[in-house]
Amino acid sequence: MGKQNFKPGNMLYPLPAVLVSVADKAGNSNLLTIAWTGTICSDPPMVSISVRPERYSYHMIEETGEFVLNLTTEELALATDYCGVKSGKNVDKWKDMKLTKIPGEKVNVPMVKESPVNIECKVTEKKELGTHHMFLAEVVAVHADEKYMDENGRFHLNDAKPLVYSHGRYLSVGEEIGFFGYSVKK
């Protein structure tokens, strides 16, 4: 059995499916779902998101230069999908999905209370790459839900049942099969 040759495209899956919260200078906010996101650098801590310029939220990111990455879970799967297919131009996603806004600490963008991790970001650069424009951003604050912390202060994100996106499908993260460095541990 061989390998099927596909035309060049994006097949790097699974990806985190995140709810990105944004706001304009007037304080109007919105949510959009993005799977094209990732870590860029650890020092300084930086991330990226890629957004189509025609998306309703795009102008808000451009206007304020701020956004929040809100990690998603199995429990947030319906909201994650809804916020990716509905436009904030026509609906109030916060209200429709019964999501709670809490204020950002370092950015003027609300965070999703129901998310286990909220990552506040300030845009440092925008790259126009074709169908999507990539916003490179510095992480200015991270908030973790205390219910996933143990008595030693260690955060257990996997207990939140994170959601990933793979080729048009949402999946939960599976069983742990190892840890960083387990292949060389003595």
Closest by Cα among 133, 104, 100 to 120: 104
- Domains in the chain: ranges and CATH: 15-172 (2.30.110.10)
- Residue 170, strand partner residues: 165
Looking at the whole model, is its pTM more than 0.85? Answer: yes
Give the other-Cβ count within 10 Å of 14's Cβ.
15
- Residue 66, strand partner residues: 122
Closest by Cα among 94, 128, 95 to 22: 94
Kindly give the confidence (pLDDT) of every residue in the chain, 186 residues in length, as a single tens digit, with 9 standing for 90 and above. 888 888 887 778 899 999 999 999 999 999 999 999 999 999 999 999 999 999 999 999 999 999 999 999 999 999 999 999 999 999 999 999 999 999 999 999 999 999 999 999 999 999 999 999 999 999 999 999 999 999 999 999 999 999 999 989 999 987 888 888 888 988
